Chains A and B, each alone.
Chain A
Amino acid sequence: MTPQEGFSPDIIGFLCNWCSYAGADLAGVSRFQYPPNVRIIRVMCSARVDPAIVLEAFVRGLDGIMVLGCHLGDCHYLTGNYYTEKRVKTVKSVLESVGLSPERLLIDWVSASEGERFAALVKEFTETIRELGALGKEANCDIQQLKTRLAAAKETLTRDRIRWLVGRERELTEDKNVFGERVTQEEFDQLMFQTIEKEFEKRKILISIGDDALSIKEIARKMEASPGKVLRNIVSLEHDGLVSVVGIEGNSPKYRRVRG
C-alpha cells in the first residue's frame, strides 16, 4: 500500500500509570524524539481500557490506537495486563469483521525504564498507520457502510455474551473446569470467533433496519450481504425478541426493531 499524500494519522495511546506512562515520561527526560501524532490518555492500569471504548475511538475517526501496559508479570495490579491482552485480542478480531486492519490497534508492554523503546514504538506505529492510510481506507466500502459497521462493532463489544467470554478466557483456557477439563486455546478462539461473527451480523442488521420496516431483501441490499445470511440472523433476532414482523408486502415479511 502506498502512503496517502500528506496524511498525518491521529492516534490515541492508552498508557498505564505505573509502567508505560512512566516510560513515556522517561523518553521525554531523555529527549528521545518521536512523531507528534499520538495523544496520550492516562489510565491507572491498561485493564481499565474497555473494549467498547477502543471501538468508540475508531467510531470517532481516530486512525490508530495504542494500548500500552507493564510487561506481563510486572503489572502493578498483578494480573491487569493479562486481561488487557485478552480484551485487545477480541477487539482486533472485531476490527477484522469490520474490514479494518487489526494493525490499527497495537498492544505492547513498556516498562518505566524503557523510554527509548517507547519512542521507537511510537515511531514504528505512526509509520504503520501512515502506510495504512486514513481509517477505513482498507475496508473498500463507502463511508456510510463503514459507519454502520463500526457502530455494529461497538455494540458487539457491549454485548454481555462477548464480554463474559472475554473475561473468562484465562480461566477457561488455563485452569481446569469443575469437570477437570480444559478448553484448548484453539477451541476457545473458534468459539469466540463464531460468537463475534454472529453478534456483529445481528447488530449490523439492527442498525440497517433503523426505524424502518424492511424486508430481508431490502436489508441485504443495504448491508451489501446475501439474503440467505440475513434470513438466518433475522430468525435469531426474532427469537431474541429484538425484531418482529409488522406486515407482509407481496410475499415478503417486513421487519421492524422492537425497542425498549
Chain B
Amino acid sequence: MDDVRVGVFICHCGTNIGGFLDVLRLVDYTQSLPNVACAKDNKYTCSDAGLTEIKNAIAEKKLDRVVVASCTPRTHEPLFRSTCKEAGLNPYLFQFVNIRDQCSWVHMQEREKATEKAKALIKMGVARAALLEPLEETEVEVTPCAMVIGGGITGMTCALSLAKRDFEVKLVEKEERLGGTLNSLYRLYPTQDEASKLIQAKAEDLQKNPKVEVLTSSEVKEVKGFVGNYDVTVKHGENDRLLKAGVIIVATGAEALKPTSMYSYNGENIISQMELEQRLEKGKLNANKVVMIQCVGSRNEERAYCSKVCCLTALKNAMLIKEADSNAQVFVLYRDIVAQGTQYEDYYGKARETGITFIKYSPERKPVVEKGSVRVYDELLNEELTIPYDLVVLSTPMISHHDSAILAQKLKVPVDKNGFFLEAHVKLRPVDFATDGIYVCGCAHWPADISESISQAYAAASRASIPLSVGHVKTEPLTPVVNEDECTGCSLCELTCSFQAIRVEETEKGRKAKVIAASCKGCGACGAGCPHKAITMQHFTDEQLLAQIISLGEVKP
C-alpha cells in the first residue's frame, strides 16, 4: 500500500462549497495525508476543464487512485468513474467524498467546524481509496428463450409478442386448453365481441408460429437459476421436462370469488356473474326480473380492494339481457359505479339509457335477499324498496389464483397481502419483479380487464426482450467473495440473501457457499452476518470500512 498514489480533487462548486468551507486549507491539509501524490482545487471539478485535469494528473503524476471531494456520488460518481476509465484507470479505483450536500450546505454558519469536518471526511476517503481494488464487470450469456407461465389472453398475447420478435417461447398452461378465464366468458365489454372468437384467433396465431411451443396440461414444478439462465422443470402428467429460459413471465391470471354462503347463493336462481355469463351464452336465461348486487365479497374488511371489472361486467350483462328482451326488468344495486375513462363513461351512459334501474346502497345497510324479492335501502331516495326477482346475480371480485403463493415460492418472488404478485415498484417498474429476468402481467398482478391485460402483456414482453436481445447481462462487481477455507457451509448466507445469489453446494472441500454473481444485487448482508466471517464484500470490504473508522479515530483530539 506504500506505493499507492492518490490524487485528490477538491471542488469549490462555484460558491456552493467554496463559500462555506476553506477549500485552500483543505488542499494544504490533504497534501499532508499519507499516499497523496497530488491535491488540487477546481472551480468545478465536473466541468470539462476539471475532468481534463483529472485525466492529465492520472498520466503525469502516475496516479492509481482518484478521490473527488465535491457534491454527491448519487449524481456524479458515474461521471468521475468514466473519466478514470477514459484515462486508463479502473473505475472502481475512484472514491467520492461528499463535502457539499452533507457538509457545506448543512453547516452554512459554521465555517471553521465545517472545514474541520471536511478534513475528516477527506482523510477517511483517502484512507479508503488506498485500499480500493480494481474490479471488472462480468458478462453472462442469456438463453434466447422466454417462458410464459399461463395461457390466458395475457399469456398468449405476451408469448405472441415475443415470438414476433423472433425469440423462442415456451407457453406453459395448466389446463387442457388455452384461454384461461375467457373460456368462461360470453361477450366482452365495451365492444360486445364474443370471448371465444378472441381466444380462437390468438390460439390459431400461436399454433401457426413456429417460435412458440405450447405446453398444455403442464405445470411449473421447480425453478432454478438466475436472469439469463433459468432452469425450469415442467411437469406434464407423469413426465418432467427440463426447459432452459433466459426470462420468465408470470401471466397466471386470477379467479372469480365464488359467493358461497353470501346472499343465499344457491347456483340456481341466486348465481354469480360468472354463472350468468354461461347462461347468456347458452341463451337459457328464463328470467324476466333480474337483480344484480355489486361488491359482493369485496371492499370489505376481508378484501378491501375494488376489483374494478365487476361494475362494467354487470353493465354489459344487464345490457345483454335488455337487448334480448326489452321488457325484462334489470336492477343493479351498487355502492359506486366504477367506470373510469371516456369509453367506459359512455358505456355506463348507454346502459342507463336502456332502462336499467340503478339503486345505490351503503355497506352499512346491505341488500337482503329474501324468497322472491330483494329488500334494499335506496341511499338516494332514502327509502326501503322491495324488488321481486326471478334471478339474483352476485358480482364478486377477482381473487388471486389459489396456486399463486406456491408459484411465488418456486420463483422466489413476493405476493401482496391479497395473494397477488407484487411488482418491483408500483409506479416505476410496474411489470418487473425485483428479481431480474422475471416479469408479471395481467390479473396475476391485480384485477385487470382485457385491454389492460393486453397492454401489460405487451409491456412485459417488451421488458423481457431487453436481456433477450442484448444477449448478455452485465453484472456490477459489487459481489461477495467466499473464503472457502473459513466457510463451514452453515448456509446462513443462503437464508439471509433475498435474491438466491449465494448457495451452499457440495464441493471437493465439503459444503461451501457459492456466489451467483449474476443474481447478486450487492447489498453485503451475507458477509456482515457470516458466523465465520468467511465472506468478503468487494468494494465494501471490512478493511475499507475500518480504514474510514480508524482514520476518524485518529483525528480525535
Determine the residue in chain B with the shortest Cβ distance to A37: B117
Interface residue B114 (Cβ < 8 Å from any Cβ of A): yes
B525 touches A163 (CB 8 A): no
The reply to whether A28 and B120 contact each other, CB–CB distance below 8 Å, is no
B488 CB to closest chain A CB, in angstroms?
A: 8
B103-111, B238-246, B274-282 - interface stretch: B103-111
Residue of chain A at shortest CB distance from B549: A57
A33 interface neighbour in B106, B124, B492, B553, Cβ under 8 Å: B106
Asked if B537 is at the interface (CB within 8 A of a chain A CB), the reply is: yes
Let me know if A158 and B114 touch, CB within 8 A: no
Bound complex: CA A17 to CA B539 (Å): 14
In the bound assembly, the distance between CA atoms of A33 and B531 in angstroms comes to 40
- Within B504-557, the residues touching A (CB, 8 Å) are 521-525, 527-533, 537, 540, 542, 545-546, 548-550, 552-553, 556
Interface flags, A19-55, vs B, CB<8A=1, else 0: 0011011011101111010011111110111111100
- Judge whether A28 and B529 touch: CB under 8 Å: no
The distance from the CB of B549 to the nearest CB of chain A, in whole angstroms, is 5
Verify if B388 is at the interface (C-beta below 8 Å from A). no
Give which listed residue, A21, A41, A45, A167, contacts B495 with CB less than 8 A.
Answer: A167
Chain A residues lying within 8 Å of B549, measured Cβ to Cβ, are 12, 41, 53, 56-57, 60, 62
**Are B537 and A60 touching (Cβ within 8 A)?**
no
Beta-carbon contact of A29 and B529 below 8 Å:
no
Chain B residues in 8 Å Cβ range of A164: 490, 492, 531
Inter-subunit contact A50/B542 (CB<8 Å): yes
Given contacts A28-B101, A56-B546, A167-B531, contact A48 B523 (CB under 8 A): yes
Q: Can you name 28 A-B residue pairings with CB atoms under 8 Å?
A: A21-B74, A24-B101, A27-B102, A27-B106, A28-B102, A33-B106, A33-B108, A36-B103, A36-B107, A36-B114, A36-B116, A39-B124, A39-B552, A41-B549, A47-B528, A48-B525, A48-B527, A51-B528, A52-B533, A53-B549, A60-B550, A62-B549, A78-B434, A78-B498, A79-B498, A119-B106, A158-B533, A167-B495
* Contact across chains for A39 and B524 when beta carbons are under 8 A apart: no
> Which residues in B have their C-beta under 8 angstroms from that of A77?
498-499, 521, 523, 525
A44 to B524, CA, bound (A): 8
- Report the bound CA distance from A189 to B105 in whole Å: 43
Contact of B216 with A by CB under 8 A: no
Find out whether the CB atom of A40 lies under 8 angstroms from the CB atom of B556. Answer: no
Using A77-B521, A167-B529 as known contacts, list a sample of 20 further A-B pairs with CB atoms less than 8 Å apart, ordered by residue number in A.
A10-B552, A12-B549, A24-B101, A27-B106, A28-B106, A33-B107, A40-B98, A40-B121, A43-B524, A44-B523, A47-B525, A48-B527, A48-B537, A53-B545, A62-B552, A62-B553, A87-B529, A160-B531, A167-B492, A167-B496
**Is A10 a contact partner of B107 (Cβ separation < 8 A)?**
no
Residues of B contacting A193 with CB < 8 Å?
none
B100 part of interface (Cβ distance < 8 Å):
yes
Q: Are A43 and B495 in contact (CB under 8 A)?
A: no
Contact A44 B522 (CB under 8 A): yes
A83 touches B529 (CB 8 A): yes
Which residues of the partner chain A approach B110 to less than 8 Å between Cβ atoms?
A: 36
Closest partner residue, chain B, to A17 (CB atom) = B74
CB-CB nearest in chain A for B124: A39
Task: Determine how close the nearest CB of chain B comes to the CB of A50; give it in whole angstroms.
Answer: 4
The count of chain B contact residues (Cβ–Cβ below 8 Å) is: 53
Which of A31, A57, A87 is most buried by chain B, counting CB atoms within 10 A of its CB? Answer: A57
Whether the Cβ atoms of A41 and B548 lie closer than 8 Å is: yes
Q: Mark A128-167 against chain B: 1 for CB-CB distance below 8 A, else 0.
A: 0000000000000000000000000000001011011011
Q: Does A168 contact B (CB under 8 A)?
A: yes
CA distance A49 to B110 in the complex (A): 30
Q: Which residue of A lies closest to B478 (CB)?
A: A44
Contact status A42-B523, CB under 8 Å: no
A47 in contact with B524 (CB, 8 Å): yes
A210 within 8 A of B: no
Pick from B98, B100, B114, B525: contact of A80, CB under 8 Å: B525
Residues of the A chain whose Cβ atoms lie less than 8 Å from the Cβ of B537: 48
Selected from A32, A34, A80, A167, the residue in CB contact (under 8 A) with B523 is A80
Q: State A164–B546 Cα separation when bound (angstroms).
A: 22
B113 interfacial by beta-carbon distance below 8 Å: yes
A87 B528 Cβ-Cβ under 8 A: yes
Q: When each residue 253-285 of chain B gets 1 if its CB lies under 8 Å from chain A and 0 otherwise, what string results?
A: 000000000000000000000000000000000
**In the complex, what distance in Å separates the CA atom of A244 from the CA atom of B227?**
54
A86 and chain B: residue at smallest CB distance: B529
Identify the interface centre among B101, B499, B521, B533: most chain A CB within 10 Å of its CB.
Answer: B101
Q: Taking the complex as formed, is B73 at the interface, i.e. its CB lies under 8 A from any CB of chain A?
A: yes
- Is A228 interfacial (CB-CB < 8 Å)? no
Contacting B552 at CB < 8 Å: which of A12, A34, A50? A12
**B181 contacts A by Cβ under 8 Å:** no
* C-alpha spacing A44/B74, complex, angstroms: 11
- A28-B101, A56-B549 are contacts. A10–B531 as well, Cβ < 8 Å? no
Cβ of A96 within 8 Å of any chain B Cβ, yes or no, is no
B288 at the interface (CB under 8 A from A): no
Across-interface contacts of A79 in B (CB, < 8 A): 498, 525
Complex Cα spacing A13 to B72, Å: 16
Which residues of chain A are within 8 angstroms of B525 by Cβ–Cβ distance?
Answer: 45, 47-48, 77, 79-80, 83
Q: Is A171 an interface residue (CB 8 A)?
A: yes
**Does A43 lie within 8 Å of B540, measured CB to CB?**
yes
In angstroms, Cα B550 to Cα A53, docked, is: 11
For the complex, is A3 an interface residue (Cβ under 8 Å from B)?
A: no
> Taking the complex as formed, is A61 at the interface, i.e. its CB lies under 8 A from any CB of chain B?
yes
